[in-house]
Amino acid sequence: MKKILVVGSGGREHALVWKLSSSQHISKIYCASGNAGIAHLTECISINPDDITGLAKFAEKESIDLTIVGPEIPLTMGIVDSFRQRGLPIFGPDSQAAELEGSKVFAKEFMKKYNIPTADYQIFFSPDKAKKYVLDHGAPLTIKADGLAAGKGVFLAMTEKSALDAIETIMVKKAFGNAGKRIVIEEFLRGEEASLIVFTDGKTILPMPFSQDHKAVYEGDKGPNTGGMGAYSPAPVATPAVREKAMERIMMPAIKGMAAEGRTYKGILYAGLMIVDGEPRLLEFNVRFGDPETQPLLMRMKSDMLPVLESVIENNLQEVEFEWDPRPAVCVVMASSGYPGSYEKGKVISGLKEVEQMENTQVFHAGTAFKNGQVVTNGGRVLGVTALGETIQKAIDQTYEAVSKIDWEGVYYRRDIGNKALGHN
């Protein structure tokens, strides 16, 4: 029986703990630092996800058999390198491989080198030169901060003014700190987004079903980008032909390319894709489970996840197979009013117990905490309400029925999650 440590405190980590807690091979799960929902399932320890030394000491002291890293920051900081040096089993890419997410500039240059289809781009170190490029080329354009910005460093600029404002925000006002020292300006791709998340041991690639995230804060994909306002799986835009092209033209070259660069990639690789007239083009790589895509994906995963994680570490992923629930799953993120800008914390959440009684429905906590015996808001994205249904419409209906039972002062959520899937019927 194994002891597991999950690193992180969001909805993705709640989903991972929930899924792993059904494994017959696991005796104990710890989560650092967790949230109110995770605390219902297992023991939360008060070590920050970026306290790599503290986490490694805890893993040694408790004889942890496997550590799973949720967020990108510890991965780019080198938590995997540190654990491996101590002989501690850990799931995720090392710091060199994690640069695929840690630097948009590195990622774009890598895509170009290995002929991975993506948007045309330019890299800028100077805000003045970036602004001149915008004025010379016009809009729409996509403006990206080079480094990590919690999903908020990408601006879809439909006008020259909004492009210039984005450059000002990133490079002059330094809204994302050092992440904005360099920017990437890309051609604007029109199409429908989809997410392909795979397990890989550096040679074999085991894909999960496609999902679709909803990045913009408002209905109709309007407003600023967020960490994600909802997701569903499967994504009908990803036809079998799209799946085949995505694997052959994007995932396989990426894994082979990273190996050729001496950066063998092991763990989760996430490709954010734009499907343009049936052709997948890569928007970005992430080096970990997506959030909120993980929530509907793990609701659909029938197999025990532990053997897959272990096979990645042991380099024998080719021996593993997955079983998936054919039913669609939908996740709606319930957020604090004001997110992705400033918001208040500490609002009492009602209705959680009522939703617990609903079948095929889970509430994954993201930004929650306990206060005076009650569950309160403690972040921008607060809950990820997720449900399975026989059809995508039934999954949507079930999810929103659960959402309607939950409330707090200033709650906000999009009411159109999953609508794009219905358009393919």
How high does pLDDT run on average in the chain?
Answer: 97
On the question of pLDDT at 403 being above 90, the answer is yes
For residue 151, pLDDT over 90 is answered with: no
Token duo for residue 207: 């894909």
Domains of the chain: 2-94 (3.40.50.20), 126-181 (3.30.1490.20), 192-319 (3.30.470.20), 329-422 (3.90.600.10)
At residue 241, the 3 state secondary structure works out as helix
Q: Are 367 and 35 in contact (CB under 8 A)?
A: yes
Give the pLDDT band (50/70/90) at residue 300.
very high
The vertex-293 CA angle with 3 and 266, nearest 5°, equals 55
Q: What percent of the chain stands above pLDDT 90?
A: 98
Give 41's pLDDT tier (boundaries 50, 70, 90): very high
Residues 309-324 have a mean pLDDT of 96
Asked if 232 and 327 count as a contact pair (C-beta separation under 8 A), the reply is no
Instruction: Report helix angle 127-137 to 160-167, nearest 10.
Output: 170
pLDDT (0 to 100) of residue 339: 97
d(CA 193, CA 213): 8
**Mean pLDDT throughout 383-397?**
98
- Residue carrying structure tokens 């101590």: 86
Mean per-residue pLDDT, 276-285: 96
> DSSP string covering 45-92, please?
E---TT-HHHHHHHHHHTT-SEEEE-SHHHHHHTHHHHHHHTT--EES
What pLDDT shows up at residue 155?
93
pTM score, two decimals?
A: 0.96
pLDDT higher than 90, residue 334: yes
Where helices occur in 205-249 by DSSP H, the ranges are 240-246
pLDDT value, residue 406: 98
Tokens 């496997």 correspond to what residue?
66
d(CA 156, CA 216): 10
Q: How far apart are CA 313 and CA 267, in angstroms?
A: 8
- CB count within 10 Å of CB 118 equals 21
pLDDT digits (tens, 9 = 90+) for 69-120: 999 999 999 999 999 999 999 999 999 999 999 999 999 999 999 999 999 9
| Residue whose token pair is 């570490």 | 313
